[in-house]
Amino acid sequence: MMARPKVAFICIHNSCRSQIAEALGKYYAGDVFESYSAGTEIDSSIDSDAVRLIKEIYGIDMEKTQYPKTVDELPRIDIKISMGCGASCPRLHADASEDWGLEDPRGRGDEAIRAVIRCIDLKINELMDRLRQ
């Protein structure tokens, strides 16, 4: 059996979008790929609104299983997914990369975070389907 690819979700602060993607990657696709997240200027904790909403929607407590980390703490990555930080996105070598172009919803209220969660949910499922083929 081939090893599952390692997928890293990358944004600058590793506190909201990338953490949501890591959580949903583990939730949906743990049998298809390994999920990681990281950044360069990490915050001390995961965004509290994101934590609350992911717990409310999926029953996942991100604070129990995840923490903000830098890209140098990651294992060798097969697929790098930038969350939408453009030119300022952390550099990380990977065999493949893509940019999901998601706007940072922090501080913009629950509906903005919910919209990003829905988008990440869809993209995680699309990625899982592509990697299964």
Enzyme catalytic residues? 11, 85, 89
34-38 and 94-99 beta bridge pairing: unpaired
Q: Among 86, 96, 98, which residue's Cα sits nearest to residue 123?
A: 98
Q: Please provide the DSSP assignment of 7-39 as one string.
A: EEEE-SS-SSHHHHHHHHHHHHHTTT-EEEEEB
